[in-house]
Structure 1
Amino acid sequence: MATEREQRLAQTFVALSDTLVDDFDVMDFLSLLAERSAELLDVTAVGVILSDQRGGWRPMAATNEDARLLELFAMQTREGPCQDCIRDSAVVTSSDLASERSRWPEFAEAAVASGFRAAAAVPMRLRRETIGALTLLNREAVGVSGADAQLGQALADVATVGILHQRAALRKETVSEQLQATLHHRVVIEQAKGVLAESGDLSMQHAFELLRDYARANGQGLTDLARSVADRTIQPSNLLATHHEQRLSR
């Protein structure tokens, strides 16, 4: 009989493979990739970083929208395991960030100060082209095992293929156009988070969770909902009412 982890793993691969659907939403997809990777690889936090097609790299999704954590992922676009992973198109791991200050001075110091002791990065690649990385942070001084590194690579690979094949099949776009569209979606998410955070006096993390949960509960695309909230087609009060109801029911 399959274990609960094996069942969850199978469900995750099915979800990451099922991109050829009319209501596919790339930001919800990347959020799911981060959440399931953290769960299956047993790490504290996961971020998805993609190429901006101008020689730079940007964090697109994370298991937590806390500003300090997002800054750590943003820092990896300049220095850290993510950059090494992208350069070599190979998994990079460290089980002791405190000893990495000579290799990654800025990132290692900031990560340790934030309570993280181990890190890893897994390339998101298609053939010889690396379009991003799955970045992992852990509060325990435990590196990613060989088996988990292989699993992380499999998750990154199926996600990469899913994203690019979905866009190519539906819109005949180039990889560059696909990634540019994804960057735009991230901007829309940030705008909606800001609107909800200001309207409901919420943290950015809670604003994102509210946005994500409302979209999933109502069968909406995360990006479409975010756009509606940002331009006030949907009033923030609609989502905040749901938030208050959930708090009262607890």
Structure 2
Amino acid sequence: MSTTDRETRIADAVLVLAHRPMDFDPLELLHDLTGQVVALLPVRCAGVTLLDRNTREPVHVTASDEVCLALERGQSALGEGPCLDSARARRPLPVLSLTEPPGSLRWPRFAPYARRAGITAVAAVSLCLPQMYLGAMNLMMTRPADVSARDLRLARFLADAAAVALAHQQQLADKDTVLAQLQRALDSRLVIEQAKGVLAARLQLSMDEAFERLRAHARSRQQKLTELSARIARGDVPTELLDPTR
């Protein structure tokens, strides 16, 4: 039996998600998860919503790009949408159309908002450990017919790989430590947004380009993304980031 290129890419993705250094940044792991899903599945973008440790309400954490991030924020503002439903119900969602007649739409305010961004269908897979629900990964599509049940199983498999990385040090046993990791991710997302805004303004970049510049700089210097972002948000922008040739 021969191994296809896609199968090799899937195996590489699992390794990237599951094998992390001891002090990895949980927010960067979750962003890597959305990136791998978009690279391997016929979806437009993907995002992660976690349950806040204190309120147990769903909060958007990260997304593969600014389109998905805007859709995540839109759901929070509108108070409805697939990400919120999946996280609150603690269960996955199958592929659901956003193009049904207005009277039959599940999310009458979110659906037209998403369609204006080119999204015609959504789905969600759970992010969880045995006996511990963490949140949901949300999939946004422009061509829902291209997304099969096998694709959704792969998305769930990749989400499981990321969840294993979150709990690996505790051997899937220490619930409080895993929840603390996720709370750090929730807290960190705001400072990363601030750093993206600073770079976008200083370098005349899009927010997606600013984030990629930020990640590349952190990785090339083996820095945590959150720590670098906090430095930039304080106004201390590394010279090398402003001038990549240096």
In the superposition, the TM-score normalised over structure 2's length comes to 0.86
Q: 1:22-37 residue pairs with structure 2 within 5 A?
A: 22-37=22-37
- Secondary structure of the structure 2 residue equivalent to 1:98: coil
Matches of 2:175 and 2:69, distance apart in 1: 32
1:189 aligns with 2:192: yes
Counterpart position of 2:94? 93
Assess if the C-alpha contact under 8 Å between 2:27 and 2:185 holds in 1: yes
1:61 aligns with 2:62: yes
Work out the CA distance in 1 between the residues paired with 2:93 and 2:236. 44
Counterpart CA distance in 2 for 1:112 and 1:162 is: 34
**Structure 1's 202 and 49: CA in aligned 2 closer, same or farther, altered over 3 A?**
same
- Give the whole-Å Cα distance in 2 for the aligned partners of 1:3 and 1:155: 18
Give 1:97's aligned amino acid. Answer: L
How much does 1:241 deviate?
0.9
Q: Could you tell me which residue of structure 2 aligns to residue 4 of structure 1?
A: 5
1:229 deviates by: 1.9
Counterpart in the other structure of 1:225: 228
CA contact (8 A) 1:47 1:134 kept: yes
Deviations 1:7-37 (A, max 9, x none): 1110111111113x23412222111100001
Paired residue type of 1:43: V
Q: Corresponding residue for 2:70? A: 71
Q: Which amino acid aligns with 2:160?
A: D
TM-aligned CA deviation for residue 166 of structure 1? 4.2
Deviations, residues 181-205 of structure 1 (Å, cap 9, x unaligned)? 1112212211211221222222222
Aligned counterparts of 1:88 and 1:177: Cα–Cα separation in 2: 22
Structure 2 Cα separation of the partners of residues 195 and 179 of structure 1: 25
| Separation in structure 2 between the aligned mates of residue 159 and residue 225 of structure 1, nearest angstrom | 22
The answer for unaligned runs of 5 or more in structure 1 is none
Q: Look up the match of 1:40.
A: 40
Partner Cα distance (1:100, 1:240) in 2:
49
Q: Is the 8 A contact 1:85 1:121 kept in 2?
A: yes
Alignment-derived partner of residue 242 in structure 2: 240
Partner SS, residue 99 of structure 1: coil
| Equivalent AA in structure 1 for residue 243 of structure 2 | A
User: 2 CA distance for matches of 1:100 and 1:93?
Assistant: 19
Shift of 1:218: 2.9
| 2:50 counterpart SS class | strand
SS at match of 2:138: strand
Unaligned runs of 5+ in 2: none
Call closer, same or farther: CA 1:43–1:140 in 2, change over 3 Å. same
Give the whole-Å Cα distance in 1 for the aligned partners of 2:127 and 2:180: 17
Question: Deviation at 1:134?
Answer: 0.7
Q: Could you tell me which amino acid in structure 2 is paired with residue 13 of structure 1? A: V
Q: Structure 1 residues 11 and 143, CA, compared in 2 at 3 Å: closer, same or farther? A: same
Over the aligned positions, Cα root-mean-square deviation in angstroms equals: 2.5
Measured after TM superposition, the shift of residue 140 of structure 1 is 1.6
1:240 Cα deviation after fit: 2.2
In structure 2, the residue matched to 1:129 is: 132
How has the CA–CA distance of structure 1 residues 174 and 22 changed in structure 2, closer, same or farther, with 3 Å as cutoff? closer
- Partners of 1:27 and 1:100 in 2: CA distance: 38
Change in CA separation of 1:37 and 1:166 when aligned onto 2, cut-off 3 Å: farther
* Corresponding residue pairs, total: 239
